[in-house]
Structure 1
Amino acid sequence: MTFTREKKEKWNLFEKISFRFLFLYFTLYVLSIFTASLWEPIIQWIGTSIFNIEYIFSSNGRGSGDTTYAYLLLFLFFCISSLGSIIWTFIDSKRTSYNQLQYGFLVSIRVILIFFLFQYGIIKMFHLQMSPISNSDLIQTFGSKSPMGLAWKFMGFSSTYSFFAGLSEVIAGLLLISRRTQTYGAIATIVVMLNVFMMNLCFDIPVKIFSFHLLLMGVLILFADFKRVFGVLIQNKNIGDYVLYPQLKKGDRTIIIIAKCVLLFVISALFIFTSYPRYKKNYVNPKTALYGIWEVSDYKKGTQRNPKKNWKYIAIDQANFASIKTLDDTQSYYKFKVDSIKNTILFAKRSNKIIDTLAFKKQGNNLFISGKIENDSILVHLKKKPKTDFLLTSRGFNWINEYPLNK
Structure 2
Amino acid sequence: MNKLSFLITAIKTYIGLYVLIYIFPFPLHHFPYGSMYITQPIDKVKGSLNLFVGKYILGFEHLEYVPMNGSGDTTLDYISILSYALLAILILIPILILVRNRFKLNLFYKFILVYMRYFVGLTLISYGVIKFLLGQFPGPSYLALESSYGDFSPMGLAWRFFGYSDLYKAFMGISEILAGVLLLFRTTQLLGALIAIAVTTNIFIVNLSFDVPVKLFSGHLLFFSILIALPYLRALIDFFLLHKASMVSTIKYPLYNKKRKFAYWGAKVYFVGIVPLGMLIGHIQSQEFRTYPNEWEGVYEITEYQLAENEASGRFSKWEKIIIQGKSIICVNTNRDREFYSIDNIWNEGELNFLSQHDQEQPFTLKINELESGAYSMAFELGERYATFLTRRKLKEDYLLMNRGFHWVNELPFNR
Inter-partner Cα distance in structure 2 for 1:240 and 1:288? 59
| Aligned CA distance change for structure 1 residues 43 and 32 (closer, same or farther; 3 Å) | farther
Inter-partner Cα distance in structure 1 for 2:311 and 2:288? 44
1:21 to 14, 23, 28: 14
Structure 2, unaligned runs of 5 or more: 27-38
1:144 to 126, 147, 151: 151
2:194 to 187, 191, 198: 187
**Contact 1:125–1:167 under 8 Å retained in 2:** no
Deviations 1:184-220 (A, max 9, x none): 1100000000101111111111111111111111101
1:291 to 283, 286, 297: 297
Equivalent residues in 2 for 1:88-103 (5 A)?
Answer: 88-95=95-102, 98-103=105-110
| Aligned CA distance change for structure 1 residues 386 and 232 (closer, same or farther; 3 Å) | same
Inter-partner Cα distance in structure 1 for 2:281 and 2:247? 46
2:394 to 380, 385, 390: 385
Question: Larger deviation: 328-337 or 190-199?
Answer: 328-337
Q: Which residue pairs with 1:174 in the alignment?
A: 181
Q: Which residue pairs with 2:205 in the alignment?
A: 198
Paired-residue identity, %: 24
**Contact 2:294–2:325 under 8 Å retained in 1:** yes
Q: Which residue pairs with 1:231 in the alignment?
A: 238
State the AA in 2 paired with 1:141.
S
Q: Which residue pairs with 1:111 in the alignment?
A: 118
SS where residue 167 of structure 1 aligns? helix
Equivalent residues in 2 for 1:207-286 (5 A)?
Answer: 207-239=214-246, 242=249, 244-246=251-253, 260-279=268-287
Q: What is the deviation of 1:68?
A: 1.2
Question: Larger deviation: 206-215 or 300-309?
Answer: 300-309
1:339 to 325, 328, 346: 346
State the AA in 1 paired with 2:127.
Y
Inter-partner Cα distance in structure 1 for 2:4 and 2:257? 29
| Aligned CA distance change for structure 1 residues 359 and 71 (closer, same or farther; 3 Å) | closer
Q: Which residue pairs with 1:313 in the alignment?
A: 321
1:368 and 2:361 matched: no
SS where residue 139 of structure 2 aligns? coil
Inter-partner Cα distance in structure 1 for 2:9 and 2:366? 74
For normalisation by structure 2, the TM-score amounts to 0.84
**Contact 2:301–2:320 under 8 Å retained in 1:** yes
For normalisation by structure 1, the TM-score amounts to 0.86
State the AA in 1 paired with 2:189.
Q
1:406 to 395, 410, 415: 415
Considering Cα pairs closer than 8 Å and 6+ residues apart, tell me whether 1 or 2 has the greater RCO. Answer: 1
Deviations 1:195-248 (A, max 9, x none): 011111111111111111111111011001112112211222234685745577
C-alpha RMSD over aligned residues: 3.1
Inter-partner Cα distance in structure 1 for 2:314 and 2:347? 31
Inter-partner Cα distance in structure 2 for 1:40 and 1:242? 40
Inter-partner Cα distance in structure 1 for 2:376 and 2:343? 15
SS where residue 98 of structure 1 aligns? helix
Inter-partner Cα distance in structure 2 for 1:241 and 1:345? 64
Question: Larger deviation: 360-369 or 14-23?
Answer: 360-369
**Contact 1:289–1:340 under 8 Å retained in 2:** no
**Contact 1:309–1:327 under 8 Å retained in 2:** no
State the AA in 1 paired with 2:129.
I
Inter-partner Cα distance in structure 1 for 2:110 and 2:345? 59
Q: What is the deviation of 1:392?
A: 1.1
Q: Which residue pairs with 2:50 in the alignment?
A: 43
Question: Larger deviation: 270-279 or 149-158?
Answer: 270-279
SS where residue 313 of structure 2 aligns? coil
Inter-partner Cα distance in structure 2 for 1:131 and 1:60? 25
Equivalent residues in 2 for 1:50-69 (5 A)?
Answer: 50-69=57-76
| Aligned CA distance change for structure 1 residues 322 and 73 (closer, same or farther; 3 Å) | same
Inter-partner Cα distance in structure 2 for 1:85 and 1:227? 28
Inter-partner Cα distance in structure 2 for 1:139 and 1:241? 55
Question: Larger deviation: 261-270 or 166-175?
Answer: 261-270
**Contact 1:21–1:82 under 8 Å retained in 2:** yes
Inter-partner Cα distance in structure 1 for 2:382 and 2:109? 67
SS where residue 49 of structure 1 aligns? helix
Inter-partner Cα distance in structure 1 for 2:157 and 2:252? 47
Structure 1, unaligned runs of 5 or more: 1-7
Inter-partner Cα distance in structure 1 for 2:100 and 2:267? 35
Q: Which residue pairs with 1:4 in the alignment?
A: none
Q: Which residue pairs with 2:29 in the alignment?
A: none
**Contact 1:309–1:328 under 8 Å retained in 2:** no
Q: What is the deviation of 1:339?
A: 3.2
Question: Larger deviation: 250-259 or 11-20?
Answer: 250-259
Inter-partner Cα distance in structure 2 for 1:105 and 1:393? 47
